Amino acid sequence: MTKSFAVTGFLKDYYIYLVLIVLVALLASANLDQFPLFERGNFLYKRNIINILRVSAPILVICGAFTLLMVSGYIDLSVGSAMSLSAVVYAMLALNGVPFLPAFALTVLVGVLLGAINGFLVVRMRITPVIATLITLSLYKGIALLLVEDGTSAIKSGGGLKMPGWFNSYGRSGALLDLPASVWVAIAVTLALIVIQKRGVLGKYAAATGGNPTAAKLSGIKTGRVVFGLYVLVGISAALAGIARSSFMSLGDPLSGDGMELTAILVVLLGGTAFSGGEGKVQRSFIGALIIMCLTIGMLTIVPAYTQTLVIGAALLLAAATNHLVSRKGGRK
Amino acid sequence: MASSTQIPALEIDELTRDYPGVRAVDAVSFAIEPGTVHCLVGENGAGKSTLVKMITGALAPSAGSMRVNGKTHNPTNPQEARDNGIATLFQELHVVDELTVRENLTLGLEAKRFGFLIRSDLDDRVVKTLAAIEPSIDPAVRVSSLSVAQKQIVEIARAASSGASVIIMDEPTAALSEREVERLFEVIRRLKDNGVTVIYISHKLEEIFTLGDIVTVLRDGKHIATKPLVKVEGRPELIEMMIGRTVAHNYVPRPNPPGDVVLTARGLTNHLLKNVSFDIRKGEIVGFYGLVGAGKTEIARAIFAADSYDGEIIFKSQPVGHTPKDALAAGIALVPEERRTQGLFTAMSIRENIPVMNLPRMSKGGVFRADKEERAAHEFVSRLRIATDSIEKQTEKLSGGNQQKVVLAKCLFSQAELLLLDEPTRGVDVGAKTEIYDIIKSLADQDNTVAIFSSELEEVLGICDRIFLLYDGQLRAGIRNGDNVDTAQILDLVTGGSMQEDAA
């Protein structure tokens, strides 16, 4: 009895890592010769892995903050629009001659502002999180579209203006171990958030707020501030995602973050975070993000692109079912 | 006991609170001596919770003043009350399941540097406090793995380690078994020995006589009395002070003899139950009595086909089906313990709640008959004496006792012949309790069969014709209620004693 209990406890904590390993092993053993997407016909070939990671940089940088927000029992549907708007702002700054660091800092500041607006609507105006961030989803995307001039679909070189060389390298060129800076930023942000969740006041208060808001309040925790701070954190991570995406694509696309909110929710749920709050781990969401990205890209070799969404949904269903079976308490038949 | 010259731990002076149209607390004055267990009793609506809310800073008084240890106490929020040394243990638990015991004990009080948690002597202090009052709880485990009683002790430890001089406990034993209650009482006595004052609120009068030093009685928002419990002459005097009339609690054998066997259970076994067999006769009121975890709810759920089991249950010579829907169709209804969450649509009115278990009876050719619904609602409101100004009242706004009556009305409307009542009077005040017992008795007199699943001995001894005693998933004995019932023997059996008893 106790032994099987320990085994299921182990499975519950680590099954997500097993899923990633199995998935990678499957992809590595597949014969990918016919697929130009994968060089040398081997999934584990270095350039293929680098490619996957740099395409994944946006979700990898978002998933950590998004996990903490969901652990606290809240949600941000505007994360994709905030990412798009940041991407557009960043591209505009670059195109108009602002150097890398100021452009980067200003864009992050935009992320702070967008997150703060969400936090204000939810905490101060007491609008239901889903509604509040659905409103800003529309607002942020609307502003992004407005910023892009008529007749063009994105902020890019042209009309006498040219993107500077550094614009592209942040998300594409190898900075260290052949991985671009965007991937390293995502890794650094995730590591920082893992530490914050484990040892930080914010991490504990997020769990308390999501686990039992009344208890948190009665313990003197200002849950409103915790939630506000987490929205700002998600805003910053959305800005970093926008920077990574626009840099990778060499343009500021006002639709580049479309659907990111769904991917983020999928990834966090896949990592075992409870939708009701209280539970969840940043590192597991990070693994969840890798799984989704491997699945998405790996699938291009097996199935047509238009079936991807369906297959991801099915994978999530499978993950949810596994999670349910593993975490279900024994006893009742 | 403290001498009268001591400064009171809490002094309440002419405290008043008005709601629109109601004076919930009316110029209440009394003093609480330090290091005592001071009980606060009164029916629902007597003003206890309003009073407590003012003491804890959740509500502002309309008039009057308070002093804690001689200093003015005028909290505008719970935090300020806690700063003044007043902690509260609420009926619902305020611990975070997802955190460990230690994390819960330090929640909101953490030592921090640059936004990170650092170790401090607080960690050792809270662990020591916990170990002093309940050494069996490991501070490193997650709170979700603890029992309700243990969670409560974690909350008490948190209050004690934060230096509270007064701890208010609002119905702390509502969800505890009798053994856990004894444990809690030990904890409370230890707190008292350390000079902590406990304000204890409970509907269970035995607890007050067992634990309390002094009792304050409130009725209709007014202060009735504050006196040492040794000077209170038993339950009748206390009840009389609370409700202004005397209530008899003794079992009176019901006139009509029980009919044929209507339900037979043979060898019920599942994750908790161990080979449980019994018969229930038509028109009987039977009680299933045992501590929390003894298997009462499990038996109710098995009869209602809400859980699966090995063994068989025969109702009116037919096996009960496999789903609650089958059980309902056969004429069995379950009133769950968690009536707010499982028994009522709290957002809907009394009128809308009553027919939900048997909607076909309300409709004709698929068309809903509003007039029928209204008539049924009026009938049940008067028959069960549901205290409300309108059948349109949202059930959320009713008192616990009246909510329970609405749930009963629902089951009666469904024309159930066997009613399974799980903890039918939990959280219900004394007056409404008596009314619910009267309803149960009159149902049995009309040939309905009632099974009560209760962890209150007084309750089963008060109304049940036969009582089945449960311990750890086993049916230990079935006894016929009457004058010769030996409560010591019953308590022995349900706590695992091995005394032999013939089945009734």
DSSP B167-194: EEEESTTTT--HHHHHHHHHHHHHHHHT
* Domain shared by B234 and B165, yes or no: yes
Host H or E run for residue B78: helix B78-83
Closest residue, chain B, to A209 (C-alpha): B96
Residue that is last in its domain, among B243, B265, B295: B243
Q: Check whether residue B257 and residue B236 sit in a common domain.
A: no
Residue B41 lies in a domain: yes
B139 touches chain A (CB under 8 A): no
Q: Is B83 on the interface with A (CB under 8 A)?
A: no
- The shortest CB-CB distance from B96 to any of A199, A208, A332 is to A208
Place of tokens 């609002």: B170
- Taking the CB of residue A169, how many other CB atoms lie within 10 A of it? 16
CA angle A143, A144, A145 (to 5 degrees): 90
- Whether residue B107 and residue A221 make contact (CB cut-off 8 A), yes or no, is yes
- Inter-chain CB pairs, A–B, below 8 Å: 71
**Facing residue for B98 by CB, picked from A199, A217, A278:** A278
Q: What is the pLDDT along chain A (333 residues), one digit of tens a residue?
A: 344 445 556 666 777 888 888 888 877 777 666 666 666 666 777 777 888 888 899 999 999 999 999 999 999 999 999 999 999 999 999 988 889 899 999 999 999 999 999 999 999 999 999 999 999 999 999 999 888 876 568 887 777 778 888 888 888 887 788 889 999 999 999 999 999 998 888 988 999 998 888 888 877 788 899 999 999 999 999 999 999 999 998 888 888 898 899 889 888 888 878 777 778 889 989 998 998 888 887 776 666 767 777 777 777 677 667 656 555 433 333
Query: What are the structure tokens assigned to B6, written together?
Result: 């001591």
CB contact under 8 A, B96 and A332: no
Within a domain: residue B272? Answer: yes
User: B79 touching A, CB under 8 A?
Assistant: yes
End residue of a domain, out of B223, B243, B263: B243
Q: Cα–Cα distance between A91 and A103 in angstroms, integer?
A: 9
Residue B71 lies in a domain: yes
Of the candidates A326, A96, A148, the one whose C-alpha atom is nearest the C-alpha of residue A253 is: A148
Inform me whether the pLDDT recorded for B204 exceeds 80: no
Residue of B nearest to A214 (CA): B94
Which residues 146-165 on chain B approach chain A with CB closer than 8 angstroms? Answer: none
Contact call for residues B50 and B18 (beta carbons, < 8 A) = no
Kindly report the number of other CB atoms within 10 A of residue B293's CB atom. Answer: 18
Using the beta-carbon criterion (under 8 Å), do A204 and B99 form an inter-chain contact?
yes
Q: Tens digit of pLDDT for each residue in B89-148?
A: 876 778 888 898 988 888 887 878 888 888 888 888 888 888 877 788 888 889 988 888
Between A286 and B399, the more confident residue is: A286
Count, residues in chain A: 333
B residues 407-436 closer than 8 Å to A (CB)? none
Same domain, B163 and B286: no
Closest CA to A59 of A312, A244, A305, A194: A244
Looking at the complex, does the CB of residue B109 fall below 8 Å from at least one CB of chain A? yes
Residue that has been written with the tokens 């076994």 in this structure: B269
Residues in chain A within 8 Å Cβ distance of B82: 220
pLDDT value of position A8: 58
SS3 state at A69 = helix
Closest CA to A193 of A185, A41, B422: A185
- Closest-approach residue (CA) in chain A for B79: A220
Residue of A nearest to B77 (CA): A218
- Contact call for B96 and A199, based on CB within 8 A: no
Of A200, A212, A221, the CB nearest to B108: A221
Q: Residue B378 has what pLDDT?
A: 86
Using CB atoms, which residue from B82, B92, B99 is nearest to A207? B99
> Is A243:A170 a contact under the CB 8 Å cutoff?
yes
**B344 found inside a domain:** no
Q: How far is CA B69 from CA A64, B45, B83, B443, in A?
A: 48, 29, 13, 53
* CA A38/CA A101 separation, integer angstroms: 34
- B313 in any annotated domain: yes
B271 — contact with chain A (CB < 8 Å)?
A: yes
Q: How far is B26 from chain A (nearest CA, A)?
A: 27
Q: How far apart are CA B211 and CA B191, in angstroms?
A: 12
Contact A219 B107 (CB under 8 A): yes
The partner residue sitting opposite B97, judged by closest CB among A196, A212, A214, is A212
Q: Tell me if B105 is assigned to some domain.
A: yes
pLDDT category at B5 given cuts 50, 70, 90 is low
Which segment, A118-127, B403-412, B447-456, is predicted with the most confidence on average?
A118-127
Q: What is the pLDDT of residues B303-319, one digit of tens each?
A: 998 888 899 899 988 88
Contact A201 B116 (CB under 8 A): yes
Q: Residue B367: inside a domain, yes or no?
A: no
Task: Give the C-alpha separation, A167 to A171, whole Å.
Answer: 8
Same domain, B225 and B265: no
Which chain B residues are Cβ-neighbours of A200 within 8 angstroms?
115-117
- In whole angstroms, give the CA distance from residue B452 to residue B455: 10
Helix (H, G, I), strand (E, B) or coil at B214: strand
Q: Searching chain B, which residue's CA lies closest to the CA of residue A208?
A: B96
User: Which of B243, B271, B290 is the C-terminal boundary of a domain?
Assistant: B243
Indicate whether B466 and B484 sit together in one domain.
yes
**A332 vs B82, B117, B271: nearest CB:** B271
CATH number at residue B465: 3.40.50.300
Q: How many domains does chain B have?
A: 2
> Which of A204, A214, A223, A232 is best to mutate for the B interface (most B CBs within 10 A)?
A204
Same domain, B199 and B60: yes
Lowest mean pLDDT among A272-286, B376-390, B479-493: B479-493
Q: Do residue B140 and residue B233 come from a single domain? A: yes
* Cβ-defined contact of A216 to B107 (cutoff 8 Å): yes
Among partner residues B79, B96, B117, which is closest to A200 by beta-carbon distance?
A: B117
Domain with B478, as residue range(s), is: 250-331+417-424+449-504
Q: What is the pLDDT of residues B215-230, one digit of tens each?
A: 999 888 889 889 898 8
| Short-list B360, B355, B359, B357, CA closest to B327 | B357
Per the listing, tokens 């199995």 go with A22
Long-range contacts of B341-347 (CB under 8 A, 24+ apart): B343/B407, B343/B410, B344/B395, B344/B403, B344/B406, B344/B407, B345/B395, B346/B394, B346/B395, B346/B396, B347/B394, B347/B396
Looking at residue B55, what is its pLDDT?
92
Residues B156 and B126 in one domain: yes
Among A201, A210, A211, select the one facing B110 at the smallest CB separation.
Answer: A201
Whether residue A278 and residue B271 make contact (CB cut-off 8 A), yes or no, is no
Do the chains contact at B99 and A199, CB–CB below 8 Å?
no
Per-residue DSSP letter, B165: S
Same domain, B99 and B194: yes
**Domain identity same for B222 and B259:** no
Which residues on B lie below 8 Å from A224 (Cβ)? none
Beta-sheet pairing, B261-269 with B10-19: unpaired
A127's CB contacts (< 8 A; 6+ apart) are A121, A135
Query: Is residue B231 in a domain?
Result: yes
DSSP assignment string, A92-129: HHHHTT--HHHHHHHHHHHHHHHHHHHHIIIIIS---H
Q: B78 at the A interface (CB within 8 A)?
A: yes
Percentage above 70 pLDDT, chain B: 89
Looking at the complex, report in whole angstroms how far the Cα of residue B116 sits from the nearest Cα belonging to chain A.
Answer: 4
Contacts of A204 in chain B (CB under 8 A): 99, 103, 107, 110, 117
Determine whether the interchain pair B98/A199 forms a contact, defined as Cβ–Cβ distance below 8 Å: no
Cβ burial, residue B492 (10 Å; 0-12/13-18/19+)? middle
Residue B500 predicted with pLDDT over 70:
no
Across all residues in chain B, what is the average pLDDT? 82
Does B308 share its domain with B215? no
Which residue in B has a C-alpha nearest to residue A193's C-alpha? B116
CA distance A216 to chain B (A): 8
Name the residue facing A201 among B82, B98, B117 (closest C-beta): B117
Q: Are residues B270 and B204 in the same domain?
A: no
Q: What is the pLDDT of residue B398?
A: 81
